[in-house]
A and B are shown apart, each in its own frame.
Chain A
Amino acid sequence: MNLFRAEEDARRWSLFDPASDDGFIALPDLLVLFSTESRRHLLDGDYLERWAGRRWPERRDALQRIGKAIPYWMPATP
């Protein structure tokens, strides 16, 4: 998962997969995706016990909020 100076740069990248059109994401949406609650508890002493298991459910919710609840982005596992 990479950042590019612009979408055109990504499309010119030598390893760009033409099937990855759905893989573009705006920075504000990316921040939503990577600001879920469990992310804020990585320094908590019970992170693995309490928070780690919430990552994928939170990710699903965040994808819904940013309009990316499509197969390309949605986790396949429950």
Chain B
Amino acid sequence: MLDVTDVRALDRVFQTIMRRVVETGRAPHYAELGPALGCTPEEARRAIHAIFKRGYPGWLHPGTDLIASFPPFNSQPTQYRISVGGEQRWFGQCGFEALATCWLFPGRTVTIEASCLDCGDPMALEIRDGRLEAVEPATVVGHCNSPWSLLADPKNIPFM
């Protein structure tokens, strides 16, 4: 039995999800988690909801139990394509979280590629262990279109 009020139990679920995303580029369905965790699919489903209710800033696709976002990654594709070792398998939750994906690949160079929302032209960044190794063009900048302070409220959409 998996007790969703026990943070240590939720940590087991969290690690299983995060490691699966790192390995495959997508978050697992709750039914896939049951066998890995030795719990029922329903317990795994409730555990996923509990992780987000605790304030972990990801979300389910509205009206479903499908993990759409598990930061710093997104299971649902975004414009922030993440490559490691020349393989593009991941997506960043947003342009900011994309930078934090480097901490899931210690000692390796993470490449972030995206099309500019204004002109559609490409941008590319290379980051290794929190250090910017390359950026093209050099003028790339981050922008938060609504106050970041509001993002502590889960009703707000982080992509803007």
CB of A48 within 8 A of CB of B10, answer: yes
The distance from the CB of A59 to the nearest CB of chain B, in whole angstroms, is: 9
Per-residue A-contact encoding for B58-81, CB less than 8 Å = 1, 0 else: 000000000000001000000010
Q: How many A-B residue pairs have CB under 8 A?
A: 173
Instruction: Identify which of B15, B54, B99, B151 contacts A30 (C-beta below 8 A).
Output: B99
Q: Is B143 an interface residue (CB 8 A)?
A: yes
Q: Is B127 an interface residue (CB 8 A)?
A: yes
CB of B132 within 8 A of CB of A31, answer: yes
Residues 114-160 of B at the A interface (beta carbon under 8 Å): 114, 116-119, 121, 123, 125, 127, 130-132, 135, 137, 139-152, 158-160
Instruction: Identify which of B7, B8, B54, B148 contacts A72 (C-beta below 8 A).
Output: B148
Report Cα–Cα, A10/B56, bound state, in Å.
28
Which residues of B come within 8 Å of A, CB atoms? 7-8, 10-12, 14-15, 18-19, 22, 51, 54-56, 72, 80, 94-100, 103-104, 112, 114, 116-119, 121, 123, 125, 127, 130-132, 135, 137, 139-152, 158-160
22 pairs, CB–CB < 8 Å, chain A vs chain B: A1-B143, A3-B114, A5-B116, A5-B140, A7-B139, A10-B143, A13-B118, A27-B99, A31-B99, A31-B131, A34-B100, A42-B104, A43-B22, A47-B18, A48-B7, A48-B56, A49-B7, A52-B55, A71-B149, A72-B144, A73-B148, A73-B149
Question: What 9 new A-B contacts, CB under 8 Å, besides A4-B142, A46-B11, A72-B148?
Answer: A1-B96, A1-B142, A1-B160, A3-B141, A4-B141, A5-B137, A24-B143, A25-B141, A34-B100
